[in-house]
Amino acid sequence: MKVLFVSSEMSPLASTGGLGDVTGSLPEALRREGVDIRIIMPLYNRIKQNYASQLRFMRWSMIRLGWRTMYSGLFTMEVNGVPVYLIDNDFYYGHDSLYIDYSFDIERFSFFQRAVLEAMGEPMGFYPDILHLNDWQTGMIPILLEAHYQSHNYHPRTRCLITLHNLKHQGIHGREVVQDLLDLPDSYMTETAVLKDGAPNFLKAGIAWSSRVTTVSPTYAREIMTDYFGEGLNDLLTAQSWKVSGILNGIDVDLYNPATDPEIAANYNPKAWVRGKATCKKSLQDELNLPKKQKTPLFSMITRLDSQKGLDLLLHIIDELLEEDLQIVVLGTGDPSYERRLQEAQERHPDNMRAIIRYDRHLARRIYAGSDIFLMPSLFEPCGLSQMIAMRYGTIPVVRQTGGLADTVEPWNKYEKTGTGFGFQNINAHELLYTAKDAAALYRDDRESWRKMVVAAMEGDYSWNRSAGAYQELYAAMEAEAR
């Protein structure tokens, strides 16, 4: 079985978040299961700078894109045993950022999708049975494949699967521009194909034209068929629900392993964690110049500063929460208004609040290991990786029970003394406040229950193994249909 995994991101080469983490982990897990899966992505400037010695040039060609004829280079390298192909074009990818401007990004990823299909087969020496697509940046590939290739008997058996990591971003632009960029006949510029409410919509096209659609958690797969979570595509998803499934993401359990992590102050495991975690907490408090209070619960939040992540809920009650005997550390960048408001909260509470406005994956690991309670009050969360990383490090999550958060965090049951975290249901700031206070009270007052919860959280299976098996089954079903 040959699978080409098409993505705009991959960790560690070039990533902004969850999509890059998935691309960096899932194909590696699938190769261990015997799937010949390879990755193709843009050759961003940061990859050229950081991995120049590992890149091997394969070929170049010219891609027609509207009135332009553009150079497309094909390079390859290997990352953790997975072959990776990279599409080169300095005009589109020779920038410091992965994403530039929404209108320009439409053009950049129109080029990328056409270049991917042009490179398939003889140019890369790989004839995929399945194209595993990811988000809007790859959503037009099923239609381009049919219109430009399969209609001329090229790649007749190749099938497409698209994974929805975040339905909010869909790739919408003007009809004339998109039709010109992709050279699509009028027969595809319809509401049953490319258009959604009269405008080309990349993600809608990918959903409608792919053989299978997956989301990154079972709960999110159900949620997106409702008005609130469906982002205008819920009717389409409901009509095609037969091909939609939710497969929970995993994390890189070798990278995020407190027993071996070289980034943290002391290593520990589920059988012996109390002393190691206490050392990590003391070291983090020292690094951030917080009072070294071992019995004071240390809350953390590592996130993109975006409304989706529940920042408004936290900021609404942060002063009231900080009246308690606790400490809060927030690490992340994003919306300037959230950056400013978090820094203002730190100024009001200099003894127990730290707002670190930057992206720092090394510090992130020290925070996961050194904090006691992890805040993740997302308004919606397709899967979420941070809560799984936190549990892996024995840091108990407080989550809103939505999407992948509902699928991965078992809320604490005070009667049965079971659970791996704390959850609340509604988008309500004071539900977050009371749930966070409950977590802090259990940490302070019932150390035996807290130890039980930490061990349960650390012993959870957050690996890609189960997810890889589910994708294998989907691939096999698609391959059988193609025959």
Kindly report, residue by residue over 8-40, the tens digit of the pLDDT: 999 999 998 789 989 999 999 999 999 999 999
Distance CA 44, CA 47 (A): 5
CA neighbor of 420 nearest in space, from 430, 433, 406, 434 = 406
pLDDT in tens, 158-177: 999 999 998 989 999 999 99
Q: What integer pLDDT is reported at residue 66 of this predicted model?
A: 85
DSSP three-state, residue 143: helix
Q: Determine the 3-state secondary structure of 60 from DSSP.
A: strand
**46/245 Cα distance (integer angstroms):** 34
Cα 315 to Cα 342: distance, rounded to the nearest angstrom: 8
Condensed to tens digits (0 to 9), the pLDDT of residues 323-340 reads 999 999 999 999 999 999
pLDDT at 16: 85
d(CA 164, CA 132): 11
Sketch out the chain's domains with CATH numbers. Answer: 2-250+465-482 (3.40.50.2000), 274-458 (3.40.50.2000)
Burial category of 369 from C-beta neighbours within 10 Å (exposed 0-12, middle 13-18, buried 19 and up): buried
Angle value at C-alpha 337, between 333 and 340, nearest 5 degrees:
75
Distance CA 27, CA 271 (A): 31
Is there a contact between 343 and 355 (Cβ–Cβ < 8 Å)?
yes
Contact (Cβ atoms closer than 8 angstroms) between residue 432 and residue 439 = no
Report long-range pairs for 416-420 (Cβ below 8 Å, ≥24 apart). Answer: 417/449, 417/452, 418/456, 419/453, 419/456, 420/391, 420/396, 420/453, 420/456, 420/457, 420/460
Q: Which two tokens stand for residue 307?
A: 């409304």
Instruction: Please report where in the chains the tokens 């392993």 appear, as a residue.
Output: 257
Phi-psi region of 289 (alpha: psi -120 to 50; beta: other; left: phi over 0): left
What is the DSSP secondary structure assignment for residue 53, as one 8-state letter?
A: G
DSSP, collapsed to helix, strand or coil, labels residue 390 as helix
- Cα separations (Å) of 56 from 73, 87, 211, 259? 11, 12, 33, 36
Q: What pLDDT score was predicted for residue 466?
A: 86
DSSP string, 106-135: HHHHHHHHHHHHHHTBTTTTB--SEEEEES
In whole angstroms, what is the distance from residue 348 CA to residue 340 CA? Answer: 12
pLDDT digits (tens, 9 = 90+) for 239-288: 999 999 999 999 989 999 999 999 999 999 999 999 999 999 999 999 99
Report, as ranges of residue numbers, the positions in the chain whose pLDDT lies below 70: none
301: left (phi over 0), alpha (psi -120 to 50) or beta: beta
Q: What's the rounded Cα separation, in Å, for the pair 427 and 165?
A: 21
Residue 158 is predicted with a pLDDT of 95
Measure the CA–CA gap between 172 and 195, rounded to whole angstroms. 9
Read off the DSSP letter of residue 366. Answer: H
Burial of 185-206, coded b for 16+ CB within 10 Å and e otherwise, reads: eeebbeeebbbbeeebbbbbbb
Long-range contacts, 435-443 (Cβ 8 Å, 24+): 435/398, 436/299, 436/321, 436/373, 436/375, 436/398, 437/321, 437/324, 438/412, 439/297, 439/373, 439/396, 439/398, 440/297, 440/299, 440/324, 440/325, 440/326, 440/373, 442/412, 443/297, 443/372, 443/373, 443/396
